[in-house]
Amino acid sequence: MNFPREAARAITLTQRMRRHTRTRRSKTQSSMLPPALQAIADSVIEAKLPNGMRVRLLPSDAVPTCSYYTFFRVGGRNERPGTTGISHLFEHMMFNGAKKYGPGQFDRVLESSGGTSNAYTSNDVTVYYEDFMSEALEQVIDLESDRMATLQVTPKMLESERRVVLEERRLRVDNEISGLMDEELSSLLFKAHPYRWPVIGWAKDIENITREDCLAFFQTYYAPNNATLYLAGDFDPSEALALIRKYYRGIRAGPAAPSVIDSEPEHKGERRAEVRHPAQAPSLMIAWRGPPAGHPDCLVLDVLQYALAVGQSSRITRSLVYEQELAVSASVDWTWRFDPGAFTVALELKPEGDPQKAEAALYAELQKVAEQGLEPRELKKAQNNLAAHLLRELATNNGRAHSLGTYELMLGDWRQGLALPSRYESITKEQVQATAAQYLTPERRAVVTLVPLSEVGT
Amino acid sequence: MNRGHEVLKLRPLKLPHHQTGHLKNGLTVHLVPRGPLPLVAVRLVIRSGSAFDPPGRLGVGDFAARLFRRGAAGLSADQISESVDFVGANISGFANEESVIVSLSTPAQHFEPMLEMMSRLVLEPDFPQSEVELSRRRTLAALTNDLDDPGSLADRALVRSTWGTHPYGHEVLCGKKDVLAFTQEDLKYFHRERLGPRISHLFVVGAFDSKRVMPAIERTFGGWKGGPAEPGAIPSWGGLARPGEVLIVDKPEQTQVQLRIAGRGVPRGHADHFPLVTMNCVLGGGFTSRLVTEVRVKRGLSYGADSSFDMLSVAGTFTISSFTRTESINQLIDVVLGEVKKMREGGPKKAELATVQRYISGLYPGRLETNEAVSGAIADVVHYGLNDSWISDYRERIAAVTVREAAKAAEDHLFGLERGIVLVGNAKAIRSKVERYGPVTVWRPSELE
Tens of pLDDT, residues B314-356: 999 999 999 999 999 999 999 999 999 999 999 999 999 999 9
Give the tens place of pLDDT for each residue, B246-295: 999 999 999 999 999 999 999 999 999 999 999 999 999 988 899 999 99
The sign of the CA dihedral B265, B402, B297, A215 is positive
Longest dimension (CA), chain A: 69
Q: Is A45 helix (H, G, I), strand (E, B) or coil?
A: strand
Which chain B residues are Cβ-neighbours of A175 within 8 angstroms? 150, 254-256
Which chain A residues are Cβ-neighbours of B256 within 8 angstroms? 167, 170-171, 174-175
In angstroms, the CA B192 to CA B195 distance is: 6
In angstroms, the CA B237 to CA B315 distance is: 7
Please tell me the predicted confidence (pLDDT) of residue B173.
Answer: 61
Would the CB atoms of A328 and B369 count as touching at under 8 Å? no
Q: Which of A163, A432, A53 is nearest to B301 (CA)?
A: A163
Enumerate residues 6+ apart whose C-beta is below 8 A from B432.
Answer: none
pTM, two decimals, is 0.90
* B227 or B11, higher pLDDT: B227
Please tell me the predicted confidence (pLDDT) of residue B10.
Answer: 78
Cβ under 8 Å to B: A residues 238-267 = none
Please tell me the predicted confidence (pLDDT) of residue A415.
Answer: 96
For an interface test with B, give the residue of A138, A169, A170 to mutate (most B CBs within 10 A). A170
Classify residue A395 by burial, with Cβ atoms within 10 Å: 0-12, 13-18, 19+: buried
Closest-CA residue of chain B to A168: B303
Closest-CA residue of chain A to B106: A388
CB atoms within 10 A of CB A362: 22
B446 CB within 8 Å of a chain A CB: no
Residue A91 annotated to the active site = yes
Q: What backbone torsions phi and psi does residue A45 show, to the nearest 5 degrees?
A: -115, 130
In angstroms, the CA B80 to CA A232 distance is: 38
* A16 or B220, higher pLDDT: B220
Enumerate residues 6+ apart whose C-beta is below 8 A from A41.
Answer: A26, A28, A30, A33, A415, A418
Would the CB atoms of B134 and A388 count as touching at under 8 Å? no
B147 CB within 8 Å of a chain A CB: yes
Would the CB atoms of A63 and B14 count as touching at under 8 Å? yes
Give the tens place of pLDDT for each residue, A228-273: 999 999 999 999 999 999 999 999 999 999 999 999 999 999 999 9
Which chain A residues are Cβ-neighbours of B326 within 8 angstroms? none
B356 CB within 8 Å of a chain A CB: yes
ipTM for the predicted complex comes to 0.86
**Chain A nearest CA to B207, separation (Å):** 12
In angstroms, the CA A301 to CA A336 distance is: 10
Please tell me the predicted confidence (pLDDT) of residue B35.
Answer: 86
Q: Which of A91, A130, A168, A359 is catalytic?
A: A91
Which chain A residues are Cβ-neighbours of B38 within 8 angstroms? 34, 36, 391
Supply the mean pLDDT for chain B. 93
B37 CB within 8 Å of a chain A CB: yes
Distances (CA, A) of B281 to A104, A210, B320, B353, B391: 17, 35, 12, 9, 19
Would the CB atoms of B300 and A377 count as touching at under 8 Å? no
User: Which segments of chain A have a pLDDT < 50?
Assistant: 1, 3, 6-30, 455-458
Nearest to A395 among B12, B37, B303 (CB): B37
